[in-house]
Structure 1
Amino acid sequence: MTKSQSLRATLLAAPLLFAGFATARAEAIDTSKSIHVAMVPKLVGLSVFKANEKGAKEAAKLLNIKFLYTGPVTASAQGQVDVFNSLIARRFDVITTTSNNPTQLAPALKRAMKQGIKVVSYDSDVAPDARDFFIQNTAYDALGKALVDGVAKYAGADAKVAILSSTPDATIQNEWIKALKAYMTSAYPKMTIVTTQYGQSSPSQSLTAGLNILQANPDVTGIIAPDGAAEVGAAAAAQKLGKTGKVFVTGCSDPDSIRQYVKAGIIRESPLWDEVKEGMLVMYVARLAANKAIGPNSTFTAGSLGTFTAKNRVIVFSKPLIFTKANIDNYQF
């Protein structure tokens, strides 16, 4: 064993308690053969996906993965399909992706699987028969509850609320919206959703949508924005219109992007998870899938991240991590 291989084996075996998952020593992961793994986000440039990339690069070094980060410049399903076709032609070993449209991406990913390429979705799922595994950020009902509670606590149990999402077909956002509506109905029956708008995962389009929401609906006191760009756009709109302390925004964005709005009091609570460590987990699952060392219902150890369980090929990454003014400076991504 070379010195670099010995160091890699030591790092893979290091135990660490993380996010409520059990501490365990890593099982040996065969990294003797180099593999090519691509990470294809909804679009390049969005901060949450950059955080995924950062973690994926760190893990790739440990796992003998030749890593490529590539994707469309706008939130386009066809743009992702074009990228997949290129990766299939180049015979990558694993494609990992977060979906702009679960059905539109399916044919290309099924073609990849037929050619022996493993497919791992994360964040926003593709059609289940078009991937080998899905890494779900957090349980949908837990995230939906956190989003609604984050508005109700400050805007009130009878608040009029708007939703500002990414795109109409985004799998993960639609699951969260479904979950938050169910929780809102049971926990806050007097709370109402007056409009649902979309910002196309673009900060500028989300700002425009946020301004339109607040100008057209002056009685809205809460905006739930389950998308990184949408939360920033909604918060910027509330600030621009002088509604700090009158309109409360929550959503799902990285701490670096929302820090100024949290400190200004526009965002009081914002649930997410550690995007960097999720990117690391994506690479561990990709490596294990390529090795055929993970089953559809199995428990595995992902190095220092801890132990995880696949159930029907779905792996839940973390419980919601709530960013507040008190803790947001503890996180830098």
Structure 2
Amino acid sequence: MSQWPDTRILDLLGIELPIIQAPMAGATTAAMVIAASNAGGLGSMPAAMLSVEQLRDELKGIRQHCQRPINVNFFCHQPPAVDEQRAQDWKNLLQPYYRELGVDFDAPTPVSNRAPFDQVACEVVEQLRPEVVSFHFGLPEKSLLDRVKATGAKVLSSATTVEEAIWLEQQGCDAIIAMGLEAGGHRGMFLSDDLSSQVGTFALVPQVVDAVNVPVIAAGGIADARGVAAAFMLGASAVQVGTAYLFTPEAKVSAAHHQALRTARERETAVTNIFTGRPARGILNRVMRELGPMSDQAPRFPLAGGALLPLRAKAEADFSNLWAGQAFTLGVESGTAELTRRLAEEGLAKLLRR
């Protein structure tokens, strides 16, 4: 019998440890998902940057090495209407960098895209039947959500406010990820784009726990056993950990990102929209300092990144997104399986000693 004070997530998802490896698009690999799930937690494969064929291949490969529950994560944004003037104004703002780095300003602007959950993605879920399906930026339309639930998958989604959590429960979410402002990567906000509505994990989690009946998963600023224990003390049934997994050999991060995670100071993260068009937390670099980090001129998500891609190819550290949560300095070098087990074992030990 589990010694955890709240076993609702363990029972709901069929996992042994209340540790969810966060889906980090671009950094998560199949090897990370396999290791996290086989260790007893829940590995999460992000789908937003994968084609349908790539997603299908990744999931089939994972199944060859892991028979335990896995999570597949999808974005639920609405693709923006084309705004050629805004795109050109944004590129014009970046023109001095093009000139400095010797990049052809008149060349066609690359497309930076993220795939939202749609009919075709839903068919992959129906075919391969992951045990858990999670969403970011709300939920898909009801007909698609009903099809996901009909596969037997448990549905999770991120809430950054109490209002979002209540809405998600009303739409049928089986559990809610309470995402504090400390979290790295894209904010899951979807009912409002007002950043002043965003609060920290310690404030958000207990309020969400009090507002909904489904179990709550704490996310944001959790990178060691102390964070795990604190989340349970606040009423969470599990934690979702992201940045700490970027220190594992299974993570796929650029050389610049790898270096920044290990050398930046704890105060050097900020929420920025200049890389994609939506607020996301990352380590400060040159373009964030000089343009923002928030800019009203950035094209809508996910189009802002296209004009930065040629600059990134020339000076990666200065012009690429270095996603990280505020607790990134707590990261330690270890394997995914070891990290998953350590977070659970040491977190539980702290809870039992109180």
Shorter-normalised TM range? under 0.3
Taking structure 1 as the reference length, the TM-score comes to 0.27
